[in-house]
Structure 1
Amino acid sequence: MEKIFYVYLSQDDPKKSTMKKLERYGLAIEIPLNKIYNKLYLTPYSDNFLLNSNRILFEDKGIVVIDGSWNRINTIENIKGKNGKKLPLLLPVNPVNYGKPGKLSSLEALAAALYIMGYSELAGDVISKYSWAQNFIKTNINPLNDYMKCNSDEECIQVQDSYF
């Protein structure tokens, strides 16, 4: 699977990095920040939501998760690339930010992105590596299915507003 990448910002304990664990399972590849430019990448600072139609870019260039700490989220505000997308709101089940809408772990963000783009089986594969994450898709199944059907930012906002 050479489609899932991550940039590790060294802002937390590497032993707790969900993306480093995925790399040990052969499900993700660490890359330097300067390699994200043409790839699809997740950032809460984008003006545009991730849509199902972004699967074409994912299939061509892959997806990048920026693996850092929510306590230092402002450090990624100026990351620039052509294809940054934000995720619509979902409920995290991770132990640190449980139930705080939008504060997903890197693993949850990746699984959500894959699911929204129509890769529910791959989303399940990455989520399966953590026992605490097993309920992420179940908890968010209705919004995930609705976000997957969105064709525009406006539709994402309507769906998001209907849940949150």
Structure 2
Amino acid sequence: MTYLNTVIYYVDFHMDDPKKATMRKLERFSLARHIPLKAIGKKIVLTPYSEIYLNNKDSGLYSAYGLCILETSWNSINDISRIRPLNARRLPLLLPVNPVNYGRPGKLSSVEAAAAALYILGRHDEASKILEKFSWAQTFLSVNMMPLSDYERCRTQEDIKKTEDMYF
């Protein structure tokens, strides 16, 4: 059994094909834990609706409260637009390698989003560990290595935006 140093939580909105729900698969390996929406609290919540980019300064929040993924389908993403968590963060653009949205900037699967967040937070081994559970995900870090490394080094929101613009 493999464990992470900190837990990745997820809220499942049941809008995705259960066979494609990557967080459920991580839960089977004890790498993620399902929680109800009301239990988000102070966790870092990844959402494309946040105006604040995740950066390595958020690592203290991650260590204290963990990371929460909103497990939903990109086809139903507008349904979560009203959710306003305390520590909402957005990821800068990256290229997905998942079979559904391959190569479409920003349309990451939940496990890709979690891995990207872990990498930006300096948890490289944990990012690799969760991706190992998916045969198609093995190339995610290598495809995105340059932007991920640069995003991790960014100190300000402006730096992240400039870096994102440089790549995309």
Contact (CA 8 Å) 1:44, 1:87: kept in 2 or not?
Answer: yes
2:135 is matched with 131
SS in structure 1 opposite 2:19? helix
The unaligned stretches of length 5 or more in structure 2 are none
The CA distance in 1 between the partners of 2:73 and 2:93, in whole Å, is 18
Cα deviation for residue 15 of structure 1 reads 2.3
Letter in 2 for 1:62: G
In structure 2, the partner of 1:163 is 167
Instruction: Determine which of 34, 38, 47 is the counterpart of 1:34.
Output: 38
**Structure 1 contact 93–133 (Cα < 8 Å) conserved:** yes
* 1:75-98, Cα deviation, whole Å (9 max, x unpaired): 110112110000000000000000
Instruction: State which of 115, 121, 127 in structure 2 corresponds to 1:117.
Output: 121
Task: Give the TM-score, by structure 1 length.
Answer: 0.98
Alpha-carbon offset, residue 132 of structure 1: 0.3
1:12 & 1:46 partners in 2: Cα distance?
Answer: 22
CA distance in 1, matches of 2:12, 2:161: 30
Q: What is the TM-score with the length of structure 2 in the denominator?
A: 0.96
Pairing partner for 1:142 from 140, 146, 149: 146
Gaps in structure 1 of 5+ consecutive residues:
none
Residue aligned with 2:93, SS = coil
Count of residue pairs the alignment pairs up: 164
Matched, 1:91 2:80: no
CA-atom RMSD, angstroms? Answer: 0.8
Q: Segments of 4+ in structure 1 off by > 4 A?
A: none
